[in-house]
Structure 1
C-alpha cells in the first residue's frame, strides 16, 4: 500500500526557523521540495541565503570523534548549542599541539614513502650512492625505459654508444637502470636516451651507503615514525576519554543543527514587512497521519502557520511514494524498488508480487525436504542478518514445501508418501496445459489491475482502449474462452459473436488515440501528422499487441516445465545413487540434493522474477514514482 500524502506549506518569522525545525519537524518525516520552484508564480520571493555557521565547528567535531576512536558512551542530559560549541572548541584546543605533531610525522612518513619508492628499483646496485653522485669525469643518469624501447636500445644502439648501462630491476612496464657516460659525450648520449623515452629519476643525496643500505635505513625510520604516530594517537585519545560522553553528545547536537541549517537551501523568504519582519516558507510532503499530528501540535504556537493541501497539483513536483505494507510482505518491496517505485496514484503491487512470486516458485520447485531447508535457512538468515532476500527465500520455501506434499515428493523420493493432488510426471501434457491455464488467469488479473490504475489516474485510454484495458481484456478473454470451448468439445460462438468479442476490441485498440480524444472532447481527434503514417504505425502496434498476447501466454509453459525438470533432475540423482538396488549411496543423495536445491532454486527464482516483470508488470505497472526522502528520520523515544 502507498501512504496518503499531504502537501504542507509552513511559514513563520525568518529568525525562528531553527526552533521550528528542532522542536517540530525533527519529530516527523517530511519530504521537502524547493519552495522557490513550488511558488514560482509568487513574486518577490528570495532564496534563504545564509552561510552555515556550524560547518567549521562540525568539521572540528568530526576530527575529534575520529581521533576518539570507537566510543559508544554518550551523555543523556540536554545540551544547548552554545554549550556544544564550547565543549568542541575546548577539546579541539586541548589536543591541538599533539595534532600538529602528528601531522608533521605524517608529512615525514609520506616523504619517506616517496623516497623508498625512488630507491627500491636500484637496490641491487652494489656501490655507494654518494660516490656516484660525486663523480667528476663521468656523468650518470638513473631512470626507467619501457620494454619496447629497451629492446630496440639493446639490439641496435647499445654497441655503438659510448656509455655503460646497468640494469637494476624491471616490472611489467619498465626496465630500471643507470647509465654512465664520459662528460665529453654526455650531451650526445643524453639525446639518444631521450629519443628512446628514457624517464630520468633523481636520487636523494643526503644518505650514506649503497641503495640497499639506504633502503633499509629508510624502512627503519618509517617504522620509528609509525610507532611515534601511534603513541601520539594514544595520547590524544587519553586526553579526550574523560570528556568522551559530553563530546559525543556535542557532536550529535552540532550535526543536527548543521543538517537543519542546510534546509535553508530549500526554503524561500518574503520581502520585509513594514515592521521589518521577514518570513520563511517551507514546502514539502508529509503522510496524512503525520500531517494531522503536526497541525495539531502547532495550533497553540503563534509563530508557526501551516497550510495542508491533500489535492495539491504542481507542474514542478509530484507526490513522493512511501510504501507501507504488512510486515510479512515488506521484504518483497525489494523487487518493487528494483523495477521502480509505483507512482503516487498507482497501485502498490507488493502484495500481488508476494503472493504470485512465492506461489509460482512453489509450483516450479515442489519438494517437501528441499522446501523445508529453504524455509528454515532463509528464516535464520533473516533473523540474524536482516536480509530481505532471505525472508523471500523463506516464504518461497514454505510454498515449495506445500507443493511438495501436493506432488508427493520429499528430497526427490516419491515412494515415501502419496501425492495429495498429483505428480507432475504422471501426465506431462496435462501439467503443461495447466501451467498455461494458470498463466492466463494471472494475465487477466494483471489486466484488471491495469484498469484499476487507469481509473485512479482518470486515464480514459488506459481504462478502455489499452491492450491491457477493457478492450484487451474482452479480446484476450474471448479468444481464451473459444480455445477452451474447442478443447472441451463445446460449440464455438458464431462469426458475428466472435467479430463483436474479438474484432471490435481490436479495432478499439487500433483507434485508441482518436477514440480517447473523442471521449475527452478534444478539438483534434486524430493526432497531427500524416494519416497514412498513423494507420501504418498503429497497424504495426496492433500486430505487436496480438503477438504479445500469444508470447506472454506461452511463456507460462516454463512453470510446468520446471516442475517436470525438478522431478527429472531428482530422478537422475536417485539413479546415480543406485536407490533401486536397495543399498543407496547416501553421500550421492545428500550432495545431489544440495546441488539441485542451489542451482535449480537460483534458476527458478530468476525465472519467476522474469515472469513477474515481463509477463505481468508490463501489463499494468509503470514504476515511475519518486521515493519519499525525509530530511530527517523520526526520533525514537
Structure 2
C-alpha cells in the first residue's frame, strides 16, 4: 500500500527558520520540494541565499571524531547549544593540533635518523673510525655496493693491476658492500674502472663518530629517546580525546543537526511584504504527520501552514512512501529492484509476497527442506535484519505446506501420506490431448488466473492515470481481458465436455475484442475527441495492425505456457531427490546418511537458488509487465521521527 500524502507550504519570519526546522521539521517526516519551482504564482519570490557560518567547524569536528577509538559506545551525549558546540570543537581542535604537530616533528626526526641508519648498517664490518675516513685529505674513499658477478671478476682480473685498496664490509645473496680507497691524483681513472664494474655508490653523511657499529648504537639510542618522547605525546593526545569524548561528540551532533537544518535553505524561498521578509518551505507529508504538525503549530504565532488538497495545482508529483504490513515489508526489496510504484499506482508488494511464496512452494515442495528454509531464514533475519532472509523464511513456509500436499520429507516419499498427489506419478486424462501430468495442468490454470488478475489491475491503474487506450483497447485492458477470459472459459468448457456453449462463446467473444485491439488508435482518438491521424497511410496501418495482432495472440499463448515451468520444477525437484536417495542407497533399504544429508544440502542450495530466480522472472515478466510501470520516486524525508 502507498501512504496518502498532503502538500504543505510553511511560512514565517525569515529569522525564525532555524527554530522552525529544529523544533518541528526534525520531528515529522517531510519530503521537501524546491519552493521556487513549486510556487511560481507567488510574486516577488527569490532564493534564500545564505552561507553556512559553521561549515568549517563542522568539518573540523568530523576530522577530530575520526581520531576517536571505535570500540567505545557513545552514550550519554549532552544537549548543547550551537555556541557551546563551536567553542568545544575549537578548544579540542587547538589542543589536538598542537600535539599532532609535535608528534609529526618527532616522526620527522625519527625518519631522518632511520635513513642515516639504513645508510650505515651495510658497512658494519668496517672496523675503522668513520670521522677519520671522512676527513682524509690526500686519499679519496667511496662507499657502495657491487653485484657478486662483477665483484668476482674485479677481484680476479682487475684488482691487482690498479692502485686501490678495497675493503669488503658485508655481503648478501645479491650484493657485496664495500669501501675502496684511491689516491686523490688518480681518483677519476679508478672511479671509471669501478663504474665499468657497475659499482653503485652510496654517499655517507659527515655526521658519524667512531666505527660504524658505534654510529649504529648511537643512532639507535637517539631513535629510542625520540620514540619515547613521541609516545608520551601520543598518550597525552589519547588522554585528551578520551576525557573530552562526550563533549566532542555532543558538539559534533549539534553541528551536524545545525548544518543539516541550514541546508534546508537551498530548497526554501523568500518573499518580502512591506518591511518584513518571510521564508517559504513546501513539501509532502503523510496525512498523519500533516494532521499532527498542524495541531502542534496551531498555537505558534510565528509559523503558518497552508495545505494544498488539489494536486492539480502542484508542479511536482507526490513521492511514494510504502506502507505495508510487517509480514510483507521484506518483499519491498523486489519492488525497489524493479522500480517504485507511482503515487496513483497500485502497490504490488502484497501481490508479489503471496504469489512469489506460493509459486516457490509449489516448485519446491518438501517438508524437511521447507522447514530448514523457514527456520534458517527466520534466524538469519533476526540476526542480520536482511529482507532476503525473511523472504526465504516465507518461501520455506509454503514449501512445507506443499511438502505435505506432495508427501515428501527430505526426498523420502514413504514417510508421510501425500495429502494431494505425487508430482511424478499423478496423471489426468484431457480431451483432444490425452494423459498429461496433473501438476502441468494445475500450473497452467494458476498462470491463467494470475494473468486475468493482472489484467484487472492494469485496468485499475489505467483508470487512475486517465489513460483510455490502456484502459479499454490494450492487450491487457478491457478488450484483452474479455478476449483472454472468454478463451479461458472456452477451454474449460471444452475440457469438461461442454462443446456447444464453448463454441458459442468462441464465436461471439473471439472477434470483437480483437477488433477493438486492432483499431485502438482511432478509437482512442474518438474517445479523447481528437482527429485520428494515420501518419503512414491506411494500407500501412492495416499491415502493421495485422502483425501486431498476430504478436498479441502469440504472446497470450507463450505467456500462458510460461507457467508450465512451475509444474516442471515441481517434478524436477522430486526427480533430483530420487537421484540423491538412489545414489545414497536409500532405495535399497541401507541409506548412507552422510550422502543423504549432503545431497539434501546440494539440492536445497542449488535448486532453491534456481527456483528463486525463476519465480522472480515470472513475477517481473509475466505479472509486472502487464500492469506495473514502476515510475514513482522515493519519499526522502528531511528529518526522521524522534
Q: TM-score range by the shorter chain?
A: 0.7 to 0.9
Distance 1:580 1:15, change over 3 A: same
Q: Does structure 1 conserve the Cα–Cα contact (< 8 Å) formed by 2:457 and 2:627?
A: yes
Q: CA deviation at 1:525?
A: 2.3
Task: Indicate the SS of the match to 1:286.
Answer: strand
Aligned-partner Cα distance in 2 for 1:19–1:570: 67
What does residue 257 of structure 2 align with? 256
Find the counterpart in structure 2 of residue 54 from structure 1: 54
| Corresponding residue to 1:483 among 487, 491, 496 | 491
Partner SS state of residue 351, structure 2: helix
Which position in structure 1 is the counterpart of 2:178?
none
Distance 2:543 2:224 in 1: 78
Match status 1:430 vs 2:445: no
Matched, 1:575 2:582: yes
> Residue 78 of structure 2 contacts residue 246 of structure 2 at CA under 8 Å; is this kept in 1?
no
Do residues 268 (structure 1) and 256 (structure 2) align? no
Instruction: State the shift of 1:77 in Å.
Output: 4.9
The structure-2 alpha-carbon separation of the partners of 1:232 and 1:520, relative to structure 1 and needing over 3 Å to count, comes to farther
Aligned pair 1:345/2:340, yes or no?
no
Name the CA shift for 1:37/1:410 in 2 (closer, same or farther; >3 Å): same
CA deviations over 1:566-597 (Å, ceiling 9, x no partner): 11011111111112332211111111111111
| Residue aligning to 2:556 | 549
Q: For residue 343 of structure 1, report the CA deviation from its aligned partner.
A: 0.5
1:277-296 equivalences under 5 Å are 277-296=276-295
- In structure 2, how many angstroms separate the alpha carbons of the residues matched to 1:476 and 1:610? 22
The alignment partner of 2:576 has SS state of helix
Instruction: Return the alpha-carbon distance in structure 1 between the equivalents of residues 202 and 501 of structure 2.
Output: 94
For structure 1, which segment, 226-235 or 498-507, has the greater mean C-alpha deviation from structure 2 after superposition?
226-235
Where does structure 1 lack aligned partners over 5 or more consecutive residues?
143-167, 171-181, 187-200, 209-213
In 2, the alpha carbon distance for the partners of 1:378 and 1:570 equals 22
Q: Which runs of 5+ in 2 are unaligned?
A: 127-132, 134-138, 147-171, 175-186, 192-200, 209-214, 428-436
Counterpart residue number, 1:378 = 377
Residues 1:473 and 2:481 aligned together: yes
Show the counterpart of 2:157. none
**1:38-437 superposed matches below 5 A:** 38-70=38-70, 71-75=72-76, 77-104=78-105, 232-270=233-271, 272-275=272-275, 277-313=276-312, 316-427=315-426, 429-437=437-445
Q: 1:395 to 1:44 in 2, by over 3 A?
A: same
C-alpha separation in 1, matches of 2:288 and 2:20: 19
In 2, the alpha carbon distance for the partners of 1:274 and 1:112 equals 72
Paired residues of 1:482 and 1:492 also in contact (CA < 8 A): no
1:503-554 deviation per Cα after TM superposition (whole angstroms, max 9, x unaligned): 22122222223212211222x2236565555444444433332222111111
Q: Given the superposition, is the C-alpha separation of residues 249 and 494 from structure 1 closer, same or farther in structure 2, using an over 3 Å criterion? A: closer
Bigger mean CA offset, 75-84 vs 363-372: 75-84
Against the structure 1 CA distance between its residues 101 and 321, is the aligned structure 2 distance closer, same or farther, given a 3 Å change threshold? same
Q: Give the match for residue 567 of structure 2.
A: 560
Structure 1 SS opposite 2:408: coil
Contact 2:14 2:279 in 1 (8 A): yes
Could you say if the C-alpha distance between residues 58 and 425 of structure 1 is closer, same or farther in structure 2, counting changes exceeding 3 Å? same
Shift of 1:394: 0.6
Alignment-derived partner of residue 634 in structure 2: 627
Give the equivalent residue in structure 1 for 2:16: 16
State the TM-score, normalized to the length of structure 2: 0.80
CA distance in 1, matches of 2:247, 2:13: 32
Deviations 1:64-106 (A, max 9, x none): 2222323434445542221222222222223331022244467
Distance 2:204 2:480 in 1: 81
Give the alignment partner of residue 459 of structure 1, picking from 467, 478, 493: 467
TM-score, scaled relative to structure 1: 0.81
Q: What secondary structure sits across from 2:32 in the alignment?
A: strand
Write out per-residue CA displacement over residues 103-133 of structure 1, whole angstroms, 9 at most, x where no aligned residue: 44677899999x89xx99xx999999xx9xx
Shift of 1:564: 0.3
Using the TM superposition, name which of 62-71 and 578-587 deviates more: 62-71
1:593–1:497: structure 2 CA closer, same or farther, 3 Å change rule? closer
Task: Tell me the CA shift for residue 498 of structure 1.
Answer: 3.2
Distance 1:527 1:22, change over 3 A: farther
Distance 1:124 1:618, change over 3 A: farther
Is contact 2:25-2:638 (8 Å) kept? no
What secondary structure, in the 3-state scheme, does the structure 2 residue paired with 1:581 have?
Answer: coil
Distance in 1 (CA, whole Å) between partners of 2:231 and 2:204 is 28
The CA distance in 1 between the partners of 2:108 and 2:593, in whole Å, is 64
Which whole-Å CA distance do the structure 2 matches of 1:35 and 1:466 have between them?
A: 39
Change (3 A) 1:563 1:99: same
Conserved? CA contact 2:489–2:502, under 8 Å = no
Mapping of residues 605-624 of structure 1, within 5 Å: 605-624=612-631
Please give the per-residue CA displacement for 1:375-405, whole angstroms capped at 9, x wherever unaligned: 0101111111111111111111011001100
In the alignment, the residues of structure 2 paired with residue 278 and residue 236 of structure 1 have an alpha-carbon distance, to the nearest angstrom, of 48
Cα distance change, pair 244–518 in 1 and its aligned pair in 2 (3 A): same
8 Å CA contact 1:5–1:310 kept in 2: the answer is no
Deviates more, 1:24-33 or 1:86-95: 86-95
* CA distance, structure 2, for counterparts of residue 496 and residue 583 of structure 1: 60
Give the match for residue 195 of structure 2.
none
